[in-house]
Amino acid sequence: MEKYQAIVELIKKSENILISSHKSPDGDSIGSSLALYHFIIALGKNPVVCHADKAADYINWVPGAQNIVLFENNSEKTIELFQNADLIFCLDYNSADRVGKDIEPLLIASKAKKVMIDHHMNPSDFCDIVVSETAVCSTSQLIFELIDQSGNVNLLNENIGIPIYLGIMTDTGSFRFSSVQARTHDILAQLIRTGIKHHEIHEKVMDTNTVDRLQLRGFVISEKLELLKDFPVAIMSVTEEELNKYNYQKGDTDGLVNVALSIEGIQIAAFFSEKDGQVKISFRSKGDYYVNLLAGENFEGGGHKYAAGGISFKPIQETINQFKSLLPKYI
């Protein structure tokens, strides 16, 4: 694709290349950011990855993760990097506010060329080049396409392969979701040929727990699950006090919303988690039920048809009640 060649030309012409992704980075943010980081290094440049905050430990071991500059730890350095950048990549997000209130003004004010590579619907207009492929499962898969379709597949190495594999894996529920294409598996095969140990990636991401993490998850499943009578909807929630009781670490409740969705007959699952006086909400759905509109129109969020999220500044029980009262409108 010509766009991918133009992006590689831009990389070769630029001096200060900055890679950004959305706030609360997930596996695809870390995967796409670090895959691009190692690809740009392979092109002979010296890029920097800047995120708002740290990712959960289970994804933060990827080669290069220790070099990510975080606004939450080093705001001055982040500001300087944004001011000096002549090329900024916007990965795995479709609008400037997704980077969070600290980085958004830096991104908007920057005179750098901006390149969006993303797979969310309705990209907003703040980048010079936009690669928006909503049928593709992950931004990490699009980083592979950038490398392949610009004629640079010979530069693939393990440092690029590991994060791409991780990002595809975490955005597809380990290659299960309908977003997985035959092309996805072609790409995975090519990644495995770089020598990556795919089983170690699965083990680190899926099969590593602390006792606190497991017991928190058990508690939420056994005590905090509500099935609605009139709708095929399951709700799980957890308060800050409950999180503290289990020494909550970032990532400990990730994926619980999918457990709620797995219940027979359930078509929509919502997970409410209270933190620092706010309520973070995760929505998942299947079949003819979509959650992106509900999240966007009511909870300052958005996402994909079957996986979306949002936030509420009301108390957690009030937020749950609000969600329930919206169901007749959205179902």
Per CB under 5 A, residues contacting Mn ion are 28, 92, 138-139, 171
The answer to whether 253 and 221 have CB atoms below 8 angstroms apart is no
Q: Which residues contact 159 (CB under 8 A, 6 or more apart)?
A: 34, 38, 41, 63, 64
310's contact among Mn ion, ligand 5GP, none, with CB below 5 to 8 A by partner kind, is ligand 5GP
Compute the distance between CA of residue 136 and CA of residue 138 in angstroms, rounded to an integer. Answer: 6
Q: Which residues contact 290 (CB under 8 A, 6 or more apart)?
A: 305, 306
Instruction: Describe the chain by its helix, strand, coil percentages, rounded to 5.
Output: 45, 20, 40
Q: Interhelix angle for 139-149 vs 182-193, to 10°?
A: 70
Compute the distance between CA of residue 167 and CA of residue 149 in angstroms, rounded to an integer. Answer: 19
Q: Of 83, 95, 96, 100, which Cα lies nearest the Cα of 18? A: 83
**Which one, 92 or 274, has the nearer CB to Mn ion?**
92
**Which one, 57 or 133, has the nearer CB to Mn ion?**
133
282's contact among ligand 5GP, Mn ion, none, with CB below 5 to 8 A by partner kind, is ligand 5GP
Question: Measured from the CB of residue 180, what is the shortest distance to ligand 5GP in angstroms?
Answer: 16
Please report, as ranges, the residues that interact with ligand 5GP according to CB under 6 A.
Answer: 26, 98, 120, 282, 301-304, 307-311
308's contact among Mn ion, ligand 5GP, none, with CB below 5 to 8 A by partner kind, is ligand 5GP
Q: How many CB atoms lie within 10 A of CB 194?
A: 15
309's contact among Mn ion, ligand 5GP, none, with CB below 5 to 8 A by partner kind, is ligand 5GP
Question: Measured from the CB of residue 284, what is the shortest distance to ligand 5GP in angstroms?
Answer: 7
Which residue of the chain is nearest ligand 5GP when measured via CB? 309
307's contact among Mn ion, ligand 5GP, none, with CB below 5 to 8 A by partner kind, is ligand 5GP
**Which one, 156 or 164, has the nearer CB to ligand 5GP?**
164
Question: Measured from the CB of residue 143, what is the shortest distance to Mn ion in angstroms?
Answer: 11
